[in-house]
Amino acid sequence: MKIGVVGAGYVGLVAGTCLSEMGNSVIIADLNEEVIGTLLGGEVHYYEPGLKPLLQSNIQKGRLSFTTDTAMMVRESKVIFLAVGTPQREDGSANLSYLESASVDVACAMNGPKTIIIKSTVPVGTNKRIGELIAGHTSHEVRIVSNPEFLKEGAAVDDFMGPDRVIVGVRDEASEQTMRSIYDPFMRTSDRLMVMDPESAEMTKYASNAMLACRISFMNEMAKICAEVGADVADVRKGVGSDNRIGSKFLFPGLGYGGSCFPKDVRALAHLAEGVGVEPRILRAVDDVNNLQRYLFLPRVYNEFGENLTGRSFAVWGLAFKPRTDDVREAPALDVIRELVKRGAEVKAYDPEAGSSAGAALKLLGVTEGVEIVAEPYLATEGAEALFICTEWTEFRSPDYDALRDSMSRRIIFDGRNLYEPESIKAEGFTYHCVGRPTVTPD
């Protein structure tokens, strides 16, 4: 099938590349000339495991191409995925201006009947809205389908190639058959395509992310209670997660969630609810708990060092909002660093993939001095009085304690992802602060 994709970002590039892997002829269009130039050279402009070799293979086989000419892509394609960003506005609502602009560009270039598939995360009612917008700019027959993405950064290729479900919102049987023909190659062992109306498909995306965010915030609140009553949240998590009605996923306490999806989608859904007269009490609470969680360690830092941190030196391991990505959007580490620097501290930070993106993001947050991004984890800890762990990269799970002891001026670890067993860290000679578990100090 000849498929076009508008948007070469996290969603569009993964979707287009994986669709080409199944034998489709795919053209990905994006207005960013620098991004398209990078892709034409066989390189990827962000880090996503497994994506680069798949992209290079399909370019070589002639099934995947890139362009800044949206009109050409439209003329050459039978179906077109819209995968542009829907960033958050100041009031929490989704900004649909990029999607609307892309829709108009597609409509004006249509040279025959097309199926338009909305892959972007959008509020309920967008399918109808985009359909009316496109109809106002073309006389050709067009079908509008909602097909929200459920890709986890760091595992996006695997998620697309082996989806646990594909949600499709359609208004006619022809659109359903088109979607089945696209996704059948990904479902050779079982049919996991779920067909519903577009409004339900749009709502499913928001509700899914809100539920996962709710579980994280709930467990973080439980962790705070555990810390006050002497319980161990690690044991509580195991006990709760063993109930098959609940399950164990997304119950790990930490410094809160970040990224491009959970924060934005929770707020957008809350804004949508308020717009139809429903008070989103749970959604607002989920967001509030998450916003506070990233500052969990600061009272302990002030207790240890005082509120004036001038002259203090700290190390931070992990800058991305999660491992296996270089995405730092709403990453807790950035807020931790900003608060430390604001109080006078010097910070050295390390991340396996997100160093450059974190540096740029910190500047946007106004952090232009007091922080240095380094290329090795133990360069970050040189002279540090404490180490903050903000992202659970696998390379942090078994640190070289001799190197830490030799490089740090004091032996204090603030572990925001509960990577270690407290007693083991105590035996290594470190004071260990974690989330929802007792703080331990060497004898």
Any idea which residues carry the catalytic annotation? 261
**Separation between Cα atoms, residue 272 and residue 280, nearest integer Å:** 9
Nearest to 297 by CA among 262, 332, 259, 325: 332
b/e burial code for range 361-383 (CB count within 10 A of at least 16 → b): bbeeeebeebbebbeebbebbbe
Strand 142-146 to strand 25-29: parallel, antiparallel, or no bridges (unpaired)?
A: unpaired
Query: For 19, left (φ over 0), alpha (ψ -120 to 50), or beta?
Result: alpha
Q: Which residues are within 8 A (CB) of 279 and not within 5 positions of it... i.e. 6 or more apart?
A: 273
Rg of the chain (C-alpha set): 24
Strand order in the sheet with 193-196: 64-67, 25-29, 2-6, 79-82, 114-118, 142-146, 166-169, 193-196
Q: How many residues does the chain have?
A: 443
Tokens for 418, please give them: 């509960």
Nearest to 260 by CA among 16, 14, 47, 85: 85
Structure letter (DSSP) for residue 273: H
Tokens for 439, please give them: 């703080």
Chain centroid offset of residue 332 CA: 12
**Separation between Cα atoms, residue 119 and residue 14, nearest integer Å:** 12
